[in-house]
Amino acid sequence: MTRATFPTPQDAESAFYEALERSDLEAMMDVWAEDEEIICVHPTGPRLTGYDQVRESWTQIFNSRQRLQVRLSNQVYVQGMMLSIHSVLENILVAGEPKPRPPMIATNVYLRTATGWRMLVHHSSPAPATGASGAADAPKILH
């Protein structure tokens, strides 16, 4: 089977979220680098490393039969020649639920390979609650 080619990291990111919305395991794994160094952290989940663990986690998610719609906002990209880091807010609507879930903060890292851009890291976690001002209620911490 021929793997898809993603000419830009944004193309790889679009394919990632399209595969997520369609619950398409093969399309999902096509986005990922075929590397034992890949990392995936689902919201409130453990760190998964390596192709097999990442694939198994997506298999379990897709087998749940939940249909998701994901809209990205607040996208920030830092891109070099070989690496692209994306920080986004994932606004998720689950089919059958009356209102969207609270947003998730995701960091996606892509590597330029001989076969196009591929995902190395996906880390998604709950966004902090925001007050009426729109600012996060949690104090700012520098480290």
The verdict on residue 142 lying in a domain is no
The verdict on residue 41 lying in a domain is yes
Could you give the angle at the alpha carbon of 55 between the alpha carbons of 49 and 57, nearest 5°?
A: 80
The verdict on residue 105 lying in a domain is yes
Query: Residue 22 maps to which CATH number?
Result: 3.10.450.50
The pLDDT of residue 29: 97
pLDDT along the chain (143 residues), means of 10: 87 98 97 93 95 96 91 95 97 88 95 95 91 47 55
Q: How many domains does the chain have?
A: 1
The pLDDT of residue 95: 86
The verdict on residue 139 lying in a domain is no
The verdict on residue 75 lying in a domain is yes
The verdict on residue 132 lying in a domain is no
The verdict on residue 13 lying in a domain is yes
What domain range is 34 assigned to? 9-116
